[in-house]
Structure formats: C-alpha cells, structure tokens
Amino acid sequence: WQRIREGDAALDLARPLWFSGQEQPESCQTLFAALLTLGKLTSQDVWMRFRQAHEAGSFRLAVRLLDSLPADERPAQRDISRVERNPAQALAKGDFRWSSRSGRELADRAARTDAASAHDAWTLWRSRVSDPERSYGNLLVAYNAARQLLPSANAWYREAEGASQDEQQQVWRVRAALRSLAWDDVARAIDAMPDARALDPAWRYWKARALSVAGKGEDATRLYGSLATEHHFYGFLAAEALGAAVMPVSEPLPADASALAAFGARDDVQRVIRLTALELRPEAQREWLYIVRALDDDTLLLAAEVARRNGLYDRSINTAERTQRRHDFSLRYPTPYRTEISAAAREYQIDEAWAFGLARQESRFVADIMSSAGAVGLMQLMPATARWVARQIGQSDYRVGSLEQPELNAQMGNFYLRHVLDRLDGMPVLATAAYNAGPGRAQAWRGTAPMEGAIYAETIPFNETRDYVKKVLANAMFYQAQLGLPYIALRERLGVVAPRGSSGAPSEVAAIPAGDRPKEAP
C-alpha cells in the first residue's frame, strides 16, 4: 500500500498483470483491490479487461469485473444475463442505454456473436438515438461484421464514416474494404490512421496497391521500393510488384575457428548448453538472452553459429534475427533434420521449402518440444491429429512419445499437410491456415467470390493464424533459396482462393481432425 500511495514502480509492475483475459492468482487480488480503491485503475481499465475476458471466453471473470465499476456505470444484471443468453434477442429489444458505456459494451458483446442479426435489429431502432450514438452503433456493427467476414461489412463501415475508431476498428476497416476490392476505401482508411500505424509494412503495401489501382503508379512505386528492401512477407510482395525476383543476400562472417572456440568455451555459454541438456529450457533461454542482449552484429552472428553447432537451433535463429545491418540468412533459416524433412516432403509430394518453412515456424527445430496446448515435435502435431494420421499410414505402434522422433514427426506432419492440401484446392495458403487453425475454419474464411490469396491471408480473423500464414509462406521463400530450389513467386504460392462451396465440400473437410489447438477469439 505504501509503495502504491507513493507512486513508485509498483503500479507499472501491476498493470500488465491486470490486463489479462484470464483469471489471475489469488495473491494478485489484494493488489488489484488496492489499485482500484486508490483510483490507480480506472473504469476504462475495467472495461478493457472486460473485453479481454470475453474474447478469451472467461465469461464468469467478465461478469465479476463489472462489480469493480462505480454503481452508476454498472449495467443491470438482467441486461448482462440477456446478452449472454440470447445476444440477437437482446439487440432486437433495443433498450440498451446507448449514452452509457455499459450499454455500448453490452451491445458490442451481442454484435460479436451475430453481426448480421445485430445489423437487422439496429436498423429498426437506430433512428431513436442521438447522432453520436447512431454513429457509434453503425461502427460497432460494421466492425463486428468485418471480423465475421460478412460481405456487407464495407458498406456498413461507410455508414459509420466520421465515428472515432480505435486501432482494431481501423485495421478491420481496411480489411473489409480489401475483401470488397474497394480500393478507394482501402486508401482512405489507411490515410485516416495515425502516422505510426500507417507505417506498418502491411498498410504500406496495401496503400501501394490502392495507389496502383488508382493510376498513381509513381507513388505506388516509391512505396514498393522502400518495402522491397525489407526481409518479410510484404517485402517479397512489393519486390514482385516491381517485377523483381531478388532474394536477400547473406553476409556471413568469415570462418574463424579460434573465435568460435573462444565464444563456445565461455562459462555462460557452457551453462546454456548444460541447462538445455538437463531439459531446463526456460532457464537456458533466460541465460542466453542475457548473453546476447547487447552484442553487435558480428558477435551476434558468432553467437548464432556457436548455438547452431551445439544443436541449439531456436537460440541460433533468434540470435541471427537480432542483427540490424549484417544478416546471415543461412543462420536465420537453417536446415537441420534435412534428411528426415526432405524425405517426408518427397514421399507426400510437398514443396520442400514449404515443409521447412512450416517446421521452422512450429518448433524452431526443437525436436522434443511440447507446446502448452500439447502439440509435440518438429511439426507440432496434436495427439488427436497424430493418432488419426498414425491409422492412415499404418503406424500400429504409435505412442505420443514417438512424436519426439524427427523422422516420424516429419512423416506425420507432411502426410497431414498433403491431406489438407488435397482437400483445400491444392492451395498452400489454405492448407497453411488449416494446419494452424483447422480445415473447417480455413474453409469458412473463403469469400463469396474468387479472392486473391494475399487478401485471404490479410483478412484471417484469428491474429495468431494470420501471422502464422504470412510467416510460413515468407519462410518458404527464404528456404527455396537456401535449398537451391527453383524460384516460385510468393504471389504464385498465395494464388487465387475459390469461393466457398466451389470445392472441398464441408462434410469432407469436417472429417479431418482440426488439430484441436486452441486459438484466441477472433
């Protein structure tokens, strides 16, 4: 209490604990109560965590958080129950207090479940509210429609012009316009972003695309040119838009056996090696981060090579990625277990660069790693998926522990990748999304008309899966160079996604195990 009253670092330490959609330990509750009593946590902070709890599926926590609000800001219990029980009916009643924060939050919660029904209900009674409330309601419905990939989302966003938008509402404004191919709206939405947000590679690329469609080729070329020097998904797309097929060039350190030996013999480096051998991976990672925290580029590459030679592939990759000017892409995109991964990729006719790109993203080549969700090994197979694959390939003696064997894991992972690829139009962008979030979701995220694969990837509703798909396919670009494979453009890898219902029948897709990896709410 004394530390909180005196305004020292306690608040800074406590705030990250508060902003979680999950229950926190009982030991945190006294601290939270003190911060609320002293006004160090505001009503805005309570509502922010309320949203996080809802998005994480922690509904009991969300309801309990509302008790932290002042009485005049707290929604009635009957309103909360009605929204949880039947969101569409709650919206249809139209008796939310739109002038209050609680009314808007509950309406938002209802719209997240079914934005189409929310729009139908909203159009019946939006004339009864004030202009600011009407503007907010239009935005609320449009935003949730965009996240649910409804074709009408862009038109509904147009009805919300002038409403103040937060970061997520802004970025989904762009995504709704992309799915409608409304390039003028894409440009306007990006122009409305704060400068720092608009400089994100995604929005620079899509702004360039919008400029190009508008016939502003010189402006588009300038944006493409700056992006094309960057080493990521949008850098490849920008380079291809300029007609280039140039791969980044590595600048490896000259071989220096004595320098490598000296660095590898350091006491702290030896501690990392021993901690890893003892399967104390978190401790090893913390020690390694301390070692590399302030190294220059050359020493980072030296450290990355030492880690690689000792089989610490995840540390090697992460260290090589820290360089600012000198880059060695053979360290960022290594090829351990090449015999196992390449053999499995050939057996199931999977592009080897794609298989490596996926394995790198899944495990950083830590063969015995297990995720918090229970996925195991190089290609992070969930036990349910692995059991199904084992039956398909006749692996009668399969055990979960077998997934730590690189050869079997690579075989099973590539079999599953082939299986979803065959049932999702042979499109890597769909199969990559399916590997992470399940085939049913990848199928559901298609549009109602043919869609550029880059737009499909950009508008995936799950943050994790959207980032995953971009990284895996960008990884494949680097790996085709590392492996000496023929060049396949990223736009070709992304392709054009056929509309829902054109192939990959829902019943057929649903029969494939989803991987049962939990994802955050969209």
d(CA 187, CA 65): 39
CA dihedral 320, 324, 329, 331 (to 10 degrees): -10
437, pLDDT greater than 90: yes
The number of angstroms, rounded, from the C-alpha of 85 to the middle of its chain's C-alpha atoms is 30
441, pLDDT greater than 90: yes
d(CA 177, CA 188): 10
Determine the number of helices (DSSP H) and then strands (DSSP E) in the chain.
33, 2
Question: Residue 214 carries which side chain, given as an amino acid letter?
Answer: A
* Nearest C-alpha neighbor of 466 from the set 436, 502, 486: 436
CA dihedral 108, 22, 164, 73 (to 10 degrees): 70
Percent of the chain with pLDDT over 90: 65
Question: What SS3 state is found at 375?
Answer: coil
295, pLDDT greater than 50: yes
Region 454-474: what's the mean pLDDT?
A: 98
Give tens-digit pLDDT for 365-409: 999 999 988 999 999 999 999 999 999 999 888 998 999 999 999
Helices 217-227 & 233-241, crossing angle to 10 degrees? 140
Known catalytic residues are 362
Q: Check if the beta carbon of residue 107 is closer than 8 Å to that of residue 89.
A: no
Residue 94 banded pLDDT, cuts 50, 70, 90: low
Could you identify the residue written with the tokens 């990748």?
417
Q: Determine the length of the chain.
A: 522
Percent of the chain with pLDDT over 70: 90
Give tens-digit pLDDT for 117-129: 888 877 877 887 7
Question: Residue 104 carries which side chain, given as an amino acid letter?
Answer: R
Give tens-digit pLDDT for 181-217: 999 999 999 999 999 999 999 999 999 999 999 999 9
d(CA 497, CA 511): 21
pLDDT at position 340, please?
A: 98
